[in-house]
Structure 1
Amino acid sequence: MNIATHPFDALMEITARPAVVFVRGEGSLLWDDSGKRYLDFVQGWAVNCLGHSPPAVAEALAAQSKLLLTPSPAFYNAPSLKLAKALVEQSCFDQVFFANSGAEANEGAIKLARKYGALRKGGAHEIITFEGGFHGRTLATMSASGKKAFEPLFEPKVSGFPKAQWNDIASVKRLISDKTIGVMLEPIQGEAGVWPATDQFLGELRALTKAHRLLLIVDEIQTGMGRTGKLFHYEHAGIEPDIMTLGKGIGGGVPLAALLATEAASCFEHGDQGGTFNGNPLMCAAGLAVLEHVAEPDFLKSVTDAGLYLESELQRISARHGLGEVRGRGLLLALDLKIPIAASVVALAFEDGVLLNAPRPDTLRFMPALNVSRAEIALMIECLDAILAKIGAARRVA
């Protein structure tokens, strides 16, 4: 038997991690095992929408854990029924299937679309996705993604995902054939560097898919649950998709995701879809606590206001240091650094006790808690400003 010689050795090496262990979180703050405090503008990649360990979620979990963890998905449970009803009432969809992760929800969306094609469109099965898109790490969702780093991995891929160009409706039209059943996209491509679909493009996609009797599938894993200032991003464009997936923020830090569909698109038959832990009352209780907060109009307005403040401060920093554009919406924003220094900025910020994310070598992404304060934004900007000044000075000397 091999014995791990270091506390980290028992975990599979799947990503580079700093040699610290986080032990506590509260709101926008994290503490490691040495007692060092960090200001978190990543929040688990937009997962902790109410910050770390929000009291509402903690209390909901504690209360539900004393009642029922899971009766199995073969039976109804009260929290899943309440959460499904609340999501339907707040959206344009009619039915909900709960899952444990965004990738699982997207996998379900792909299966639902293919089932729809088999039943109602002569076996059509292709789903048009987009270059730069990211939909998860299952084989099907990696295949649906347009991430270049995925292309050589785990061959052979799942076929049936032709790729269109972002914000280019003509490129979508060229890919439509009698095999096509739908179009799937993130309203904002997060992993690609926070590239929003324009509201006009989303409107054109909705019109095009309706004209060809295709399903429009919006992957709102990252943009949903208030992240862009509306409960769901599709509302900005004034459209109604056929299928939507949610993840990340819906659980406020616990593993919860959802697949929502209109009544017309909901065509699963018994045995087509399932999952041992799907819709369990413990996670759905957390989801209810989150939704009750983020769906409030005043809360959504505060997200918009905080996003505008963060955007203006990033634009000020960009102008000061000769950087590029600020992209995104609400509290999902990116700063174009124009040069590949993002990893260095992230590392220096970590040393200074600020957590940032670099989805691309030349891009920083900002995904703070939706209730982040102006004072916390100002602290992050102060840190980033100092780092950029330091890097700029070093480059001039070099």
Structure 2
Amino acid sequence: MHPDTRAPSLKTILLCTGLILTLAMGVRHGFGFWLQPISQANNWTRETYSLAMALQNLMWGVFGPFAGMAADRFGTARVAIFGALLYAAGLLWMATVTHPALFVIGSGMLIGGGLSCTAFGAMSGIIGRTAPETKRSWAFGISGAASSFGQFALMPIEQQLIGAIGWQYAFFALAALVVLVMVPMALFLREPDVVRSGPQQSMPEAIREAFAYKPFLLLLAGYFVCGFQLVFIGVHMPAYLKDRGLTDPGVAVMALALIGLFNIVGSYLAGRLGGWLPKRYLLSSIYLARAAAIALFLVAPLTPASVYVFSAFMGLLWLSTVPLTNGVIAGIFGVRYLSMLSGFVFFSHQVGSFLGVWLGGFLYTRQGNYNTVWMITIGLGICAALVNLPIDEKPIVRIQPATA
């Protein structure tokens, strides 16, 4: 990575990364709207589309550490431009490919690769390096709020596009939007020079240090649960509501939009609170609150009102783990390899995402309902609440200076 002496202000970095995150997260948050039309058009079961979504999330995680390494080494701008092109290609692939195996593999690789270069992991490094330590948690909260705004704003747009021009042309329109917005924004992401003082590590040294440190492993375990819960709900919620008799598509649109709207508040508040309170306690509380919210949603009578209340509450908890998790990583290991280490933690998140979205389709195909998967999400939430409690957030003590 070659720092730029003309590096922009934190405000500019937050604006540009925020717009990139808005599209990256907003577009993929609405993929659940395509589950039924694509499955019906191609005579697939829900398992096929679910597997494609699962592979997308898995590849997002697999490519994440490498995208982070590239961002830390060569700069975030190049990585974001490459990711925007991959993302657009993946949307075009989903619009045109009808062979199930090719659809699953191609969309999984392209969308997964695109997200790894344009979402949280790749963007976290430049945000952490630009923000002063006293504002770092707040800055991560702002970026989380930006991605949440995308989830809120793009839900009705995607649903309206599908209804107005068809599901295929909706993909074409989104592909054009991704390129036309992300590429110009990426050009402003010039790197600050804030990593030259103190002991210097190589990437292999940083990786070995992180994976030998117990708090990092606990973060991996907690983030696995986060991915499982969120992607299962995000992809399967529209179909679940229709199965239970809420056939008005507007209910599902409003539910996902409310998640995005309240996510803005939740992400920002998590970032602010992370600057004042121990982040491990906040993370534990979020996972426990999710488990309680899901349990109450399942036992309450299912009405549009109950769906909206559940969605709003889940929105407050949706991406609030992101600024806190990135803040813990930066606090322990510093910001030199923040994108890379965030990528490794996010890989665990995406393994959970893969299992959540695929298991939803797999068990639905065999059982005819989502009951078992809902129970799993509750149990995992309780486990995540417990594993986050013992995390030590203090900076790691390096006995011997690392080699340059």
How does the TM-score come out when normalised to structure 2? 0.27
Structure number, greater radius of gyration: 1
Give TM-score, length-normalised by structure 1. 0.27
